[in-house]
Homo-oligomer: A and B are copies of this chain.
Amino acid sequence: MPVVNVEEKLGKFSEHWAPKIVAAFNGHDVMVVKLLGEFIWHSHPDTDDFFLVLKGKLTIELRDGAVHLGPGELYVVPKGVEHRPVAKEEVHLLLIEPAGTPNTGDKATAAEKRPI
């Protein structure tokens, strides 16, 4: 595989909430994504959800509170835990999820994840 420059990959697209696959790792997709606004409440019953913020400030709302992440901060939402990402300004993220994991727990959205 080639070396992946994360910023270079992020420069190739502008749409929000559409993860782009940049590498494969142990059956997982390594992805970059841009966020802006509020996502929907969802959970992943079979997988933890790995977030590493590269740019901007991300709030991950949880049913019992919220966590706040800035650049260079990471958080893992445990499987089955309902959460809602909220980005009041544009956020750039590195995400890791098992290949084929839907964005929202809805399998119809898994197709949104594309290599770049």
Contact = CB atoms under 8 A, between A and B. Distances in A.
A94 B50 CA distance: 13
Interface string A32-55: 000000000000000110101010
A4 interface: yes
Interface residues of A, number: 31
Copies in the complex: 2
Interface centre among A24, A52, A54 (most CB of B within 10 A): A52
B67 A26 contact: no
A23 interface: yes
Interface of A: 1, 3-7, 22-26, 28, 30, 47-48, 50, 52, 54, 67-69, 72-76, 78-79, 94, 96, 98
Given A96-B25, A98-B26, A4 B47 contact: no
Contacts of A96: 25, 96
